[in-house]
Amino acid sequence: MEHDKFLKPTVTYHLFMYRVELARRNARQLRLSRTKIEITDELISKTVRNIKTCSMDDLKAVNRELMFKRKLRNNVSKLKKEAKRQSQASQQTEEQSASKQD
């Protein structure tokens, strides 16, 4: 169907991908964090869609999920900066060894 390709992956799919990544020998923290964000985002949106029937405990849980999501986004930002810094350091090292060989 035409509209199916615009649908977002389900929570079940994200949980599956998260488990696959955890099973890797060298799990990539950036990918794990992004998957956690997607899962948390979907859980929040499901709760918000049913906000009229939510209890106070549900609202407190949504608040905790929002705070968790904010922390994850900060973590992803830090991981991206660190990866960029390591990439630049690696390139500088390669350039220095290439110039020594000349």
Give me the DSSP letters along 27-51: --HHHHHHHHHHHHHHHHHHHHHTG
Inter-residue contact 1 to 44 (CB < 8 Å) = no
Q: What is the pTM of this model?
A: 0.65
Specify the higher pLDDT residue, 5 or 48. 48
- Each residue's pLDDT tens digit, 33-87: 888 888 888 888 888 888 888 889 988 988 999 999 999 999 889 988 988 888 8
Place of tokens 């922390």: 71
pLDDT of 6 higher than 70: no
Tokens (6 digits) for 47: 């709760």
Tokens (6 digits) for 1: 């169907």
Give the model's confidence band at 97: pLDDT under 50 very low, under 70 low, under 90 confident, else very high.
confident
The mean per-residue pLDDT over the stretch 85-99 comes to 81
Residues with Cβ within 8 Å of 41's Cβ and at least 6 positions away in sequence, in order, are 69
- In 3D space, the residue among 34, 39, 31 whose CA is nearest the CA of residue 14 turns out to be 39
The mean per-residue pLDDT over the stretch 13-29 comes to 84
